[in-house]
Structures are given as structure tokens and as C-alpha cells.
């Protein structure tokens, strides 16, 4: 199966290289010790957390970080601008000629793939050049695993030769084993993304957002974070059920800002007044704010009385429940948290989160927290204690990486 993939990508190389020359031209860099490859914005955060720890342990290391998307490239440059020795650029096309040229030019001592950036020619060429291949912060959602399992004949012979895979959870370990990585080469090391969230707390300044929202003493904020397509009705029903609570305000943050008008439409259909966040600096008194830009969610969590985590009220796998937990907030999510099994399990077992199966259950939990704030604060404290247990993964990944240098 790999031969067919190799042949097709070689043919496409000739066609696409004229249209996207930057993806096919050899890198300007000569000789790096680490070539790290990640996908987009989320993975760039993971890469940044691991690289910060790696360079703390081994200053002066020469690293090239490649990203698949321009948004990921911009995010990585922001996160790593203070670290010397790291060069960042767009990833090459996964063609055998292109990848071979990159490897000959770079001569990396190790290739690091972040999460699920498994590209057949990149794997094959690196292994053929004798370059150790590591998978760090490895994760396979149920959806990704189904896709890769169908392609097992393509990936299994390559993954069997990977030097080591550090993965997030037991579920991820079982899935990587099923794709062909030998058991002795898979280790559960946690999620490096959480370390970056802890560092963000140190730099957090909520005052500008408090002023923009016009939050007054005694007002409370309920935050719906990273809400996804199909969750508009659940959000509007919950807010409609809580709108009578005095001094309670609501911030709805869609995972994708372009979905903001859909949330606004469902809320106004219930007779609720909505204000958009973007370009609006007169939000004092606005009961319901729909956030139509990227960026404010973490600070909103810091100001929240409680957090409702999206992607969990539809079969979408859930969003990260640890961000509000790190900030000491009680966390509520729906029945679908398949993409965060370890985090949700630890929060639930430690009493830091509640999982509900319906809007009615969600309203019951939220009413309880709002009418018994001491209970909400206690659950938030437990959430923080649970989150602390998941720190330190980026250092473990850095130590694993340095073993191969």
C-alpha cells in the first residue's frame, strides 16, 4: 500500500510544486539537531511547551519547527519568540523527493512528530536515513483512530520502526499499539498542553476584560466555553432557564467564531437580548454576550463563577475541561468527552467536575452552584487540585527527547 502512496505523491509533487513552491523548495537551514513537526494552532502550543523545557535542560540546541498551517506558524512564532536557536517555517509537502531533500539538507539527529502528524513519506524517508523518529504527546481520538485503522496496511510497517511514542493516556496507548507500534516503545507521559495553561495563569491580567465587560461587584459570570455546531439549542435552553437568577451574566464562546451568529439566532428566538463581543466596548449591563473572536476564553474562565465546556453535548468528543479547572472553577460538561478521557476521568473522580446527560440535569447542577456559592467554590478548589496532578508532562517529553541526542 505504501508503494501506491509513494507513487501518487511523487506524481503530485511535479504538478503541485509549480503552484506552491514554498512547500517544495529545500529549507534554508543547514544542520539541525531536532526537526519537530506539528499540525496547527493547538499542536503549536504543545510543541512550544516541550521545546521550552528541552531548551531549559539543553541550552543552545538547534531546532527546526515546521507547521502545516499559517495560523499554526503565527502562533508558534508568538509563543517561541523569546527562545534562541529555534527556526520556524511551513512544513514541506509529503512527497518523497521533497522530504528526501529536506532530510539531506537538515541532517537532523532526531525527528519529532507532535500528536498525530503521521505522514508516510516523512516516516519512510527519515527511517531510511537512519534518523530516530519520536512521537510526543501522542493522541488518537476515536474518530482519528477509525481513520488510521482503515489505513493500517499503510502505517503499520512504518510505525513498527518508530523509536518511541510518548502518549497522553491509556486509551491513546492502546490505539497506537493497535496501529503497529511495539508495546515496549509506547509510554504514557501525559498532556504537555496543560503545562502551557499553567504558565498562562502567571501572565494573566483580567483587569482590562473586567473593564470591557463592565462587571460590577456582586455580578456573576457563567461561561460556555468552546461551544460547537449543534449545541446552540442546549446553550439557549440553559440560559433561558437561568435568566431569572439576579446579577447573573452569560458569556457564550463558540469554538469557531464564525458560528457566533447561529448562537445569537437561537438565543434571540427565545426572546433574549444578545450583544456581540467583537468591536464592542460598551458591554456594561449586557446580560448575554456572544464572543465572536479568538482569544478571550481563558481570561473569561478566570472571571467565571462556573464553566460549561462545549463539544460535549453533541457526539463531538468534548473540549479541554482542564483550562477552567486550572483556574479553580467548577466544571460542567455533557456526556461526550471521548477526546479528553484522562482529564474528565480525573476531574470526575476528584470531585472537580459534574457530567450531565441532558439540559435538565445541567440546569439542576448550575442552580445548585449558583444558590450555594460555597459548594461551587469547594468544587472549584477540587478541580484545581485535580488539575495539578496532570502537570509536568512537557518535562517528561523533553527528557525523553534528549535521550536520543
Active site residues: 43
Check if the beta carbon of residue 119 is closer than 8 Å to that of residue 91. no
Task: Report the distance separating Cα 251 and Cα 266, nearest Å.
Answer: 15
Three cell numbers, residue 284: 456594561
E strand or H helix at 151: none
Other Cβ atoms closer than 10 A to 386: 24
Cβ-count burial of 203 within 10 angstroms (0-12 exposed, 13-18 middle, 19+ buried)? exposed
Write the CA distances from 299 to 49, 209, 302, 304, 378, integer angstroms. Answer: 20, 8, 5, 9, 21
Three cell numbers, residue 68: 502545516
- Render the burial of 71-91: b for 16+ CB within 10 Å, e for the rest: ebbebbeebbeebebbebbeb
Report, in angstroms and rounded to the nearest whole number, the Rg of the chain calculated over CA atoms.
Answer: 23
Task: Report the distance separating Cα 190 and Cα 312, nearest Å.
Answer: 21
Three cell numbers, residue 89: 517555517
Q: What is the DSSP letter of 293?
A: S
Task: Report the distance separating Cα 97 and Cα 232, nearest Å.
Answer: 47
Three cell numbers, residue 173: 496507548
459534574: which residue's cell?
A: 354
Task: Report the distance separating Cα 76 and Cα 275, nearest Å.
Answer: 32
Mind giving me the DSSP string for 179-232? TT--GGGEEE---THHHHHHHHHHT---HHHHHHHTPPTT-EEEEEEEE-TT-H
Amino acid at each position: 500500500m505504501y508503494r501506491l502512496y509513494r507513487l501518487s505523491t511523487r506524481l503530485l509533487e511535479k504538478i503541485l510544486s509549480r503552484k506552491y513552491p514554498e512547500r517544495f523548495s529545500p529549507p534554508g537551514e543547514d544542520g539541525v539537531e531536532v526537526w519537530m513537526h506539528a499540525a496547527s494552532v493547538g499542536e503549536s502550543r504543545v510543541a512550544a511547551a516541550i521545546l521550552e523545557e528541552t531548551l531549559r535542560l539543553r541550552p543552545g540546541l538547534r531546532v527546526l519547527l515546521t507547521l502545516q498551517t499559517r495560523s499554526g506558524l503565527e502562533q508558534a512564532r508568538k509563543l517561541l519568540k523569546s527562545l534562541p536557536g529555534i527556526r520556524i517555517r511551513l512544513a514541506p509537502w509529503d512527497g518523497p523527493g521533497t522530504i528526501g531533500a529536506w532530510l539531506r539538507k537538515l541532517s537532523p539527529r532526531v525527528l519529532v512528530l507532535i500528536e498525530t502528524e503521521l505522514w508516510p513519506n516523512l516516516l519512510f524517508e527519515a527511517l531510511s536515513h537512519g534518523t530516530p523518529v519520536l512521537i510526543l504527546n501522542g493522541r488518537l481520538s476515536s474518530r482519528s483512530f477509525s481513520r488510521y485503522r482503515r489505513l493500517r496496511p499503510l502505517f503499520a510497517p512504518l510505525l513498527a520502526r518508530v523509536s518511541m511514542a510518548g502518549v497522553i493516556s491509556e486509551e491513546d496507548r492502546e490505539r497506537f499499539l493497535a496501529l503497529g507500534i511495539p508495546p515496549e516503545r509506547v509510554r504514557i507521559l501525559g498532556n504537555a498542553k496543560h503545562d502551557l495553561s499553567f504558565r498562562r495563569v502567571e501572565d494573566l491580567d483580567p483587569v482590562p476584560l473586567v473593564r470591557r465587560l463592565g462587571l460590577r461587584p456582586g455580578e456573576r459570570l457563567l461561561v460556555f466555553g468552546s461551544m460547537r455546531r449543534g449545541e446552540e439549542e442546549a446553550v439557549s435552553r440553559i440560559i433561558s432557564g437561568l435568566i431569572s437568577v439576579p446579577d447573573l451574566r452569560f458569556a457564550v464562546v463558540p469554538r469557531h467564531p464564525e458560528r457566533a451568529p447561529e448562537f445569537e439566532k437561537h438565543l434571540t428566538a427565545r426572546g433574549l437580548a444578545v450583544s456581540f463581543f467583537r468591536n464592542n466596548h460598551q458591554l456594561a449591563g449586557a446580560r448575554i454576550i456572544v464572543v465572536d473572536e479568538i482569544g478571550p476564553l481563558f481570561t473569561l474562565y478566570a472571571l467565571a463563577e462556573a464553566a460549561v465546556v462545549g463539544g460535549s453535548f453533541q457526539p463531538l468528543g468534548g473540549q479541554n475541561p482542564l483550562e477552567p479547572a486550572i483556574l479553580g472553577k467548577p466544571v460542567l460538561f455533557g456526556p461526550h468527552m471521548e477526546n479528553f478521557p484522562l482529564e474528565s476521568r480525573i476531574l470526575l473522580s476528584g470531585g472537580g467536575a459534574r457530567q450531565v446527560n441532558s439540559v435538565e440535569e445541567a440546569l439542576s447542577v448550575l442552580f445548585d452552584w449558583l444558590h450555594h456559592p460555597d459548594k461551587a467554590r469547594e468544587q472549584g478548589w477540587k478541580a484545581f487540585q485535580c488539575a495539578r496532578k496532570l502537570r509536568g508532562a512537557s518535562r517528561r517529553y523533553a527528557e525523553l527527547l534528549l535521550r536520543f541526542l
